[in-house]
Amino acid sequence: MEIDNEENIIVPLTEQTNSVELSPTIVQRFSGIFYALLSAFLFTISVFITKQLEVELLSALIPRFLIQTVSLFIYMKFIKHYSLYKQSEKQEILFLILNVFCSASGFLAFFIGYRYLPLPDLTTIRYTQVIWTAIITSIIYCEKPSIPIILASLLTTIGVVCVAQPNFLFEKTSNITISSTDHDQRLIGLSIALYASIAMSLMIISNKHLLTKYKTKHSLIMLQFAFVSLCISIIYCFYKYYFLSDTIQSLKKDFFNWKYLCASSVCLLQIISSILVQKAIKREHPSIFTIVQASDILFSILLQNIFASMKSNFLSLFGSFLVLISILIISGFKFINEKRSTVRT
């Protein structure tokens, strides 16, 4: 993603000038953080409410992906007049395919994982993508692993184990944590969540490569993601209602009711969330953005333990805390390194 890192430095000439210009400067400086927090909250609460309404996420997301696909197509074709059929190099096409596959499968895997895991645990595993991104990048560019990356990887591993709570390590606490869910289902959920985190890491890396090397339009990347996700969601619903159930009765029961209307409407907030993410990225340093975006974990913990019947135990909370610390270490390390490089140049 192209990052516009702008700093507005105002040197006050008098006390009166200072009082007039300081306020808008502060608002502008922290607008990126505000956008990141709001986007994280809107995404988390939309997923949480849909689950509480007992509506399947893949079904509720169809209107979101449909509206997003149509609006992006109109924006590219009729407003910006971008070409949708531009000649591309073979490598660019391969990276586009990798990007859309990882982004669509990663996000949809995250939504499927919510069937098996509480939202705080699922979100915690998802945000291990920060560590996976650092590790994969180090491997691709043959970089020696730094102490912060090693420390963050260790903390993340311990955090994931605390969230997973396998029976052979936490026999007593496991029964308390997932009293309403079979242990095998939890392992399935953890596997899906881990895949989602790795897929989104590869998506971030391929996304950056497309934007920096091939100057691919970000709106084109988003259009491909929305369209492919829409197709997958429709195919899934077709398979579910055509092969697995009584088509007409199940469709009436699942789609033509107030719960689905509310859930699909709430999921439209994710479109606003994605717009706010882009605004935050343009206004804030990527490392700071990553730290703030991880507030997803905190929002999910609060929502789960205030409004849901299943509460998080100490080990789950401790695991989430360790993953947050590892994100802080990685992002802080990158931020300091980039600042040092800027000073040297």
Q: Taking Cα atoms as reference points, which of 229, 199, 245 lies closest to residue 66?
A: 229
Give the type of residue at 259. K
203/222 Cα distance (integer angstroms): 12
- Whether residue 284 has pLDDT greater than 80: yes
Q: What are the angstrom distances between the C-alpha of 255 and each of 138, 245, 262, 330? A: 46, 14, 11, 43
Q: Which residue has the tokens 């695991």?
A: 319
Confidence of residue 341 (pLDDT cuts 50, 70, 90): confident
Mean pLDDT value of segment 85-89: 72
Q: Please choose, from the candidates 128, 108, 97, the residue with its C-alpha nearest in 3D space to the C-alpha of residue 47.
A: 108
Q: Do 185 and 116 form a contact (C-beta atoms < 8 A)?
A: yes
Contact predicate 294/127, CB 8 Å: yes
Least confident of 47-61, 206-220, 329-343: 329-343
pLDDT number for residue 45? 97
- 301 phi/psi in degrees, rounded to 5: -65, -45
**11 against 313, higher pLDDT:** 313
Share of the chain above pLDDT 70, in %: 85
Q: Model pTM?
A: 0.85
pLDDT by residue (tens digit) across 299-312?
Answer: 999 999 999 988 88
pLDDT confidence of residue 168: 62
Mean pLDDT to the nearest integer, 197-216: 92
Q: Summarize the confidence of residues 315-324 as an average pLDDT.
A: 94
Contact between 192 and 109 under an 8 Å Cβ cutoff? The reply is: yes
Is residue 298 very low, low, confident or very high in pLDDT (cuts 50, 70, 90)?
very high
Q: Which of 73-87, 107-121, 158-172 has the highest mean pLDDT?
A: 107-121
Which H or E element spans position 329? helix 314-344
Instruction: In whole angstroms, give the CA distance from residue 330 to residue 290.
Output: 10
User: Do 232 and 94 form a contact (C-beta atoms < 8 A)?
Assistant: no
Tokens of 93: 């096409």
C-beta of residue 233 within 8 angstroms of C-beta of residue 75:
no
DSSP, residue by residue, 256-316: SSHHHHHHHHHHTHHHHHHHHHHHHHHHS-HHHHHHHHTHHHHHHHHHHHHH-SSPP-HHH
What's the whole-number mean pLDDT along residues 225-244?
Answer: 90
What secondary structure does DSSP assign to 181-203, as a single string? S-HHHHHHHHHHHHHHHHHHHHH
Q: What is the pLDDT of residues 179-189, one digit of tens each?
A: 544 678 888 99
d(CA 107, CA 129): 12
* pLDDT over 90 (residue 26): no
pLDDT at 288: 87
Query: How many C-beta atoms surround the C-beta of residue 3 within 10 A?
Result: 14
Indicate the length of the chain as a whole number: 345
| Local confidence band at 2 (pLDDT 50, 70, 90 cut-offs) | very low
Kindly state the average pLDDT of the residues 276-280. 91
- What pLDDT was estimated at residue 247? 67
Q: Is 28 helix (H, G, I), strand (E, B) or coil?
A: helix
Average pLDDT over residues 68-94: 87
pLDDT tens-digit series, residues 63-75: 999 999 999 999 9
Contact 71, 230 (CB under 8 A): no
Alpha carbons 103 and 86: distance in angstroms, whole number: 22
Q: What was the pLDDT predicted at 5?
A: 42
Could you read off the pLDDT of 120-146 as tens digits, one per residue? 999 999 999 999 998 998 888 888 888
> In the predicted model, what is the mean pLDDT of residues 321-332?
94
What are the DSSP calls for 118-163, one per residue? Answer: -HHHHHHHHTTHHHHHHHHHHHHTTPPPPHHHHHHHHHHHHHHHHH
Alpha-carbon span 46 to 57, nearest angstrom = 10
What's the whole-number average pLDDT of the chain? 85
